[in-house]
């Protein structure tokens, strides 16, 4: 895989570089080297214009027109006129170039090759006098480069096969270095993805270089996948324990139903009227218990998959909670104590009346079911502009260890203080948590000042 990837990138880079080289060669041949004006300066235009404005008067003095003087200044051109003896007869605007007054043939040739001035010459014939016009320009404007070389040596040096071979070798080397550095992190990332797909979440990338963000994201993904797998493993263990406990909870009342049903149906030992009444009450009670277990399981499943639509309505929360708490005390938990307080006489909330009652009942029942003896529960509802509605439910029971508080709202979790004979599906707090969450609220757990567990509900108020 690694070799295949490197070959792919190497070939791609080599072909791209080769195409760029060919395009540049074609461009140079078609545009640069074919443009005669690009490397050839025609000085005749300047020389003709200058020579046309120079004359000799009757006294033998040179006369230069104003147009020529202005032309020389505008184009930064210097001129010098020498006679047949190579002596200076006239010089204009040539001070920067330090021209000689008398030349030899050698000095003229040196002036032609000078790097200080670029010189052009034209023969003049003014009134029968043979003169030479030297025009000098700055190399920053017009530059002349003279090459002198051995033809055979240059031809041997520019061997086409050697040049092509050298360039191909360089391209291959650069391609290898480029593709190695590009493909190495890709190969590493690709290998990490394969490991993740195989369930090996212990991969760790360096998080450096061009793909730093990708590698850091891969590290974060590996951590999340490992955490999800651990959570799934714990969830599976908890679910198996929950199924085992639920099976036990259902088996016990089912045994009672079957047993008392057989007693009622026994023709040899018909029960008395009082016994029939007692047996029927037990059968009804056990049937209702099983029905509640199945109802909890159904509601937990529907809440988990967001299949339980909420019917919101404006409810006066204080009076609603009073009724719910009174109903709780009128059940089998009448021996326990409930204290209800509120900060406002009236608090309006947008809630699903039926589901909110289910959540509050589950939270209060939790204090009664998982504590022995008489339990005192304190319920308080408050409302502020910043936090909305806040409901606290505290008890003076055994409480929950700090390490377990984040787990008590899990669907299949049973705390360390939960006894095997505790009735219920173990879904009460999970259902309450999902109901509050569906309302856009929050349900958390903490240590109560009464010594037991403190449950806190936060939901929005219609008045905020």
Q: Where are the domains of the chain?
A: 2-37+149-187, 44-137, 212-302, 311-459
- Written as one string, the DSSP assignment of 133-151 is EEEEE-TTTS--------H
* Spatial separation of the C-alpha atoms in residues 154 and 163, rounded to whole Å: 13
CATH topology of domain 44-137: Beta-Lactamase (3.30.450)
Tell me: the pLDDT tens digits for 334-347? 888 899 999 999 99
- Decide: 245 and 238 in contact? Cβ < 8 Å: no
pLDDT of residue 314: 92
Tell me: the pLDDT tens digits for 129-176? 899 999 999 999 998 887 788 888 877 776 677 777 787 788 778 777
Q: What is the pTM of this model?
A: 0.46
Residue 131, H or E segment: strand 129-137
pLDDT of residue 300: 72
Residues 212-302, CATH architecture: Orthogonal Bundle (1.10)
Tell me: the pLDDT tens digits for 311-330? 889 999 999 999 999 988 88
Rg value, the chain, Cα: 51
Tell me: the pLDDT tens digits for 252-263? 778 888 888 888
Tell me: the pLDDT tens digits for 374-432? 889 999 999 988 889 999 999 988 888 888 887 787 765 655 555 445 555 667 888 88
Angle CA 141–147–152, to nearest 5: 155
CATH topology of domain 311-459: Heat Shock Protein 90 (3.30.565)
Name the residue with higher pLDDT: 248 or 230: 230
pLDDT of residue 185: 74
* Spatial separation of the C-alpha atoms in residues 382 and 456, rounded to whole Å: 11
pLDDT over 80 (residue 464): no
pLDDT confidence of 10, banded at 50, 70, 90? Answer: low
């Amino acid at each position: 895989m690694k070799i295949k990837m490197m070959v792919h990138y190497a070939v791609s880079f080599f072909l791209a570089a080769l195409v760029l080289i060919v395009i540049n060669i074609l461009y140079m041949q078609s545009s640069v080297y074919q443009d005669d004006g690009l490397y050839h300066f025609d000085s005749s235009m300047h020389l003709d214009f200058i020579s046309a404005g120079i004359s000799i008067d009757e006294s033998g003095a040179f006369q230069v027109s104003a147009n020529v003087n202005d032309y020389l200044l505008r184009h930064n051109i210097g001129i010098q006129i020498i006679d047949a003896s190579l002596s200076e007869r006239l010089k204009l605007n040539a001070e920067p170039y330090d021209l000689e007054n008398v030349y030899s043939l050698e000095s003229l040739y040196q002036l032609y090759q000078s790097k200080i001035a670029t010189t052009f010459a034209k023969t003049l014939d003014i009134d029968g006098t043979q003169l030479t016009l030297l025009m000098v320009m700055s190399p920053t404007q017009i530059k002349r480069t003279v090459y002198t070389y051995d033809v055979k040596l240059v031809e041997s040096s520019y061997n086409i096969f050697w040049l092509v071979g050298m360039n191909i070798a360089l391209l291959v080397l650069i391609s290898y270095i480029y593709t190695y550095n590009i493909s190495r992190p890709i190969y590493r990332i690709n290998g990490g993805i394969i490991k993740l797909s195989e369930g090996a979440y212990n991969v760790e990338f360096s998080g450096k270089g061009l793909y730093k963000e990708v590698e850091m994201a891969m590290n974060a993904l590996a951590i999340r996948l490992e955490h999800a797998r651990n959570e799934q493993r714990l969830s599976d263990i908890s679910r198996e324990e929950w199924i085992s406990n639920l099976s036990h909870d259902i088996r016990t009342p089912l045994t009672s139903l079957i047993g008392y049903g057989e007693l009622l149906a026994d023709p040899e030992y018909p029960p008395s009227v009082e016994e029939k009444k007692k047996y029927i009450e037990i059968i009804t009670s056990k049937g209702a218990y099983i029905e509640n277990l199945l109802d909890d399981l159904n509601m937990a499943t529907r809440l988990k998959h967001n299949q339980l639509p909420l019917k919101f309505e404006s409810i006066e929360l204080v009076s609603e909670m009073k009724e719910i708490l009174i109903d709780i005390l009128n059940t089998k938990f009448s021996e326990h104590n409930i204290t209800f307080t509120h900060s406002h006489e009236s608090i309006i909330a947008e809630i699903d009346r039926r589901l909110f009652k289910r959540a509050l009942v589950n939270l209060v029942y939790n204090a009664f079911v998982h504590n022995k003896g008489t339990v005192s529960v304190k319920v308080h509802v408050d409302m502020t502009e910043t936090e909305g509605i806040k409901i606290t439910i505290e008890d003076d029971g055994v409480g929950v260890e700090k390490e377990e508080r984040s787990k008590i709202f899990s669907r299949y979790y049973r705390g360390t203080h939960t006894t095997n004979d505790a009735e219920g599906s173990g879904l009460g707090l999970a259902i309450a948590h999902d109901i509050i969450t569906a309302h856009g609220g929050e349900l958390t757990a903490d240590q109560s000042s009464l010594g037991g567990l403190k449950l806190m509900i936060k939901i929005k108020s219609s008045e905020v």
